[in-house]
Amino acid sequence: MNIKRTSVQIIILASVFFTILIVHNRINRDAYVTVAGMTQGTTYHITYESRKGRDLKYEIDSLLTDFDHSLSTYNDSSIISRFNRNDTRVEADQKFRTVFEKAYEVYLKTDGAFDITVGPVVNAMGFGAGDTVQVDSALIDSLMTFIGMDKVSMQGNKLVKRERNLMLDVNAIAQGYSVDVVAEYLDGKRIRNYMVEIGGEVKTKGLNPNHEIWRIGIDKPVEGNMVPGSDLQAVIRLKDQALATSGNYRRFYEKDGMKYVHTIDPRTGYPVVSNLLSVTVIAEDCMTADAYATAFMVFGLERSVEFLNRNDFLEAYLVYADETGKLQVYISEDLSDVMEE
């Protein structure tokens, strides 16, 4: 009888211990940390699982500061700024090489619709940095002589350009890459669940604090929608993928009741007239998603759809205005199941 009682006690104690272990693991699994800050002239928000509740903000800020030393045109001492000033002593680091190689890859795949040398024309048109100038065909022809990724190459760690006035601006791809850099750091810490968002570009892994797939909102591309998240067009359930959005819906004009955006085509130097207002691209990495989101804005609706139909490594959610100015959407086939509209 004493033996039976002892056995029962052992079973009960074992069950209690097992229950405590489960609860303890669940509590640890629920320990998510959120850090936020400023980088690249925008904000970032990063949420990740940490069983010890470790705050990684200092390490993340250090990563992003190092990133700016390589690729920020707002940092006069960065590698890209020195290259643009024709500093012959400057050498590319790994971050710069990664972005340059991806930019050249997308440049080729899009027949030049994505081009990180287009900055001077964008600026002259008044859609970038610097003062707007009086633009005519002669000026465009002049600027186009030093625009094109075929005029710049990398030889070892050295950047070589054929035109002295050629300048690189990687804003349309580097922000996405910065998301990948932070995500890779979290992977190295063996963090299984996270969401990295920098300036609206996002990468997720695993599940959110509610043990659900991360839900990422897409802003409705309408005039006056200036606060991210205040008026959503749709929500995407994003797991182990990256997302980037590009849109000119805050810079457009109307004609005959229809909205048109101004996007500079790097191949011609002239604005593209398009009713495509917003592009959200989903890819395995955020750098790729960022670059193609920009390229699709140049392509316009029809060519973007054609490209998506030929290439299965991307998914996209496209918002455009129809003949009456009403918003319509195109959703690539495999993306439909994860959309919440």
Residues 230 and 156 in one domain: no
Q: Which two tokens stand for residue 205?
A: 């892994």
Structural domain contains residue 331: yes
Structural domain contains residue 245: yes
pLDDT at 253: 54
Residues 85 and 139 in one domain: yes
The CATH number given to whatever domain includes residue 120 is 1.10.3980.10
Query: Of the candidates 109, 140, 169, which is a domain's last residue?
Result: 169
Structural domain contains residue 66: no
Query: Of the candidates 169, 199, 233, which is a domain's last residue?
Result: 169
Number of domains the chain contains: 2
Structural domain contains residue 182: no
pLDDT at 22: 34
Q: Which two tokens stand for residue 221?
A: 């591309």
Structural domain contains residue 127: yes
Residues 116 and 234 in one domain: no
Label each residue of the chain as H, E or C: CHHHHHHHHHHHHHHHHHHHHHHHHHHHHCCEEEEEEEECCEEEEEEEECCCCCCCHHHHHHHHHHHHHHHCCCCCCCHHHHHHCCCCCCCCCHHHHHHHHHHHHHHHHCCCCCCCCCHHHHHHCCCCCCCCCCCCHHHHHHHHCCCCHHHEEEECCEEEECCCCCCCCCHHHHHHHHHHHHHHHHHHCCCCCEEEEECCEEEEECECCCCCEEEEEEECCCCCCCCCCCCEEEEEEECCCEEEEEECCCCEEEECCEEEEEEECCCCCCEEEECEEEEEEEECCHHHHHHHHHHHHHHCHHHHHHHHHHCCCCEEEEEEECCCCCEEEEECHHHHHHEEC
Residues 256 and 149 in one domain: no
Residues in the chain where the model's pLDDT stays below 70: 1-30, 126-134, 222-230, 249-262, 341
Residues 237 and 328 in one domain: yes
Single-letter residue type at 300: G
The whole-angstrom separation of Cα 116 and Cα 102 is 11
Residues 158 and 236 in one domain: no
Residue 3: how many other CB atoms lie within 10 Å: 7
Residues 150 and 217 in one domain: no
Rg of the Cα trace of the chain? 24
Structural domain contains residue 109: yes
Residues 221 and 335 in one domain: yes
Residues 225 and 157 in one domain: no
Parent domain of 236: 213-340
Q: Which two tokens stand for residue 16?
A: 């209690």
Structural domain contains residue 220: yes
The CATH number given to whatever domain includes residue 250 is 3.10.520.10
Residues 272 and 153 in one domain: no
pLDDT at 236: 96
Residues 217 and 336 in one domain: yes
Structural domain contains residue 234: yes
Residues 336 and 240 in one domain: yes
Query: Of the candidates 169, 188, 221, which is a domain's last residue?
Result: 169
Q: Is the dihedral of CA 179, 182, 184, 189 positive or negative?
A: negative
